[in-house]
Structure 1
């Protein structure tokens, strides 16, 4: 199996497009697991809720946004590692359509 390394700090905040070129949101968080001496990325989180989660402010941040009138925040998206194309790390792209993704709300409720 080929191993590749990408500096995560260069990915964070990048706009992600789906396989049809439709904007999905910004990559804000990564979920990884330790395997021996390496960390293996399992999921990518996209959207404003993922940013709040990365900053550990999900509950407080959501309450503040709602108090300011933000009512239609989508739950962000969870992307399995195999659905993310990072061949060009400057332009991350999904290998699926936006409609095929789970929202973070769906993932957290399971």
Structure 2
């Protein structure tokens, strides 16, 4: 089933995007900053992947689930979408954690006894 992995990645990206926009965690909070962070993160991981491929550490795995479209030697199209999912998920979780920590801090400050 060629392309099944890509479909799964796209479904994952859509799910993370819906959560992000619903709760304004990453792209929903600041789209321009989020786009820059996402592009820099994906570019960094693509450099990492390319170095790993050239060193013989990384290689293309099972070809039965991927489209066969190559961005470079041993670098399938699906890797780009995996990296987008990885970075977007990480930043969405970071946004959620930051919000939860800010709420916990606010709650702690509001219940703390005041020195008079």
| TM-score > 0.5, shorter chain as reference | no
TM-score when normalising by structure 1: 0.22
- Greater share of strand residues, 1 or 2? 1
- Larger RCO, structures 1/2 (Cα 8 Å, 6+ apart): 2
Question: Of Structure 1 and Structure 2, which has the larger fraction of its residues in helix?
Answer: 2
Larger radius of gyration: 2
